[in-house]
């Protein structure tokens, strides 16, 4: 990834921006300050303040971040997230918006090649319609640039965020666990009466 980073720094050379590399093995204080938990990690700083990041060897996400902060992308139309459906989260902007707008966010991490993900996806969509106390989102691990995706090791995985802080998670296509999760964090008083668990349980698949 390092040669690609060098290539992008040359392609998007701009007097307003400075492209730097940090050796985390020698600069533990910097890694701790900016919460670097996986490598490679790319961060955009404005006046020493972190405003954006991309984790993992995500060349597309890195280039998009560079173009975004150099003003080379068209203006982004803000999204509105309300309960009742499953939203696809593609980038850090989507992630920041949904976690800012919603107290409770239930996240499904999946991939197109993941069989268990396809098995439990209809149940997740069903719960999104029935449980109105949270916003349900999903993100494709192969394309996602949201920070939590870099730490996912098996699919499907599910997490709950309360006021931007993770409060619950589990791995695998396990309907009973998913039901308990959404009843705890996304249920209204009558939601639990309408839920069931009728699909086969499947073990999680390791991320390739």
Give the separation between CA 90 and CA 107, rounded to whole angstroms. 12
- Tokens, residue 70: 């150099």
Number of H helices, E strands in the chain: 6, 9
Alpha helices in the chain (DSSP H): 2-11, 28-33, 59-69, 92-101, 115-130, 175-185
> Taking CA 126 as the corner, what is the angle to CA 205 and CA 162, rounded to the nearest 5 degrees?
75
Residue matched to tokens 């940090």 = 22
- Tokens, residue 109: 């991490």
Give the separation between CA 196 and CA 175, rounded to whole angstroms. 8
Residues with catalytic roles: 114, 117
């Amino acid at each position: 990834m390092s040669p690609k980073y060098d290539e992008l720094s040359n392609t998007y050379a701009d007097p307003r921006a400075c492209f730097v590399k940090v050796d985390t093995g020698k600069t533990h204080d910097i890694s701790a300050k900016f919460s670097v938990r996986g490598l490679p990690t790319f961060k955009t700083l404005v006046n020493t303040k972190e405003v954006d990041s991309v984790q993992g060897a995500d060349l597309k996400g890195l280039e998009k971040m560079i173009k975004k902060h150099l003003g080379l992308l068209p203006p982004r139309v803000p999204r509105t997230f309300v309960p009742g459906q499953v939203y696809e989260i593609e980038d850090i902007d989507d992630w920041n918006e949904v976690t800012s707008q919603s107290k409770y966010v239930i996240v499904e991490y999946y991939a197109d090649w993941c069989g268990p993900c396809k098995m439990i996806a209809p149940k997740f969509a069903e719960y999104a319609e029935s449980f109105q106390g949270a916003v349900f989102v999903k993100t494709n691990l192969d394309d996602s640039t949201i920070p939590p995706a870099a730490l996912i090791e098996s699919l499907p995985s599910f997490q709950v965020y309360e006021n931007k802080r993770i409060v619950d998670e589990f791995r695998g296509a396990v309907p009973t666990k998913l039901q308990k999760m959404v009843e705890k964090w996304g249920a209204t008083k009558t939601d639990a009466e309408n839920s069931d668990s009728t699909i086969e349980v499947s073990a999680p698949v390791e991320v390739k």
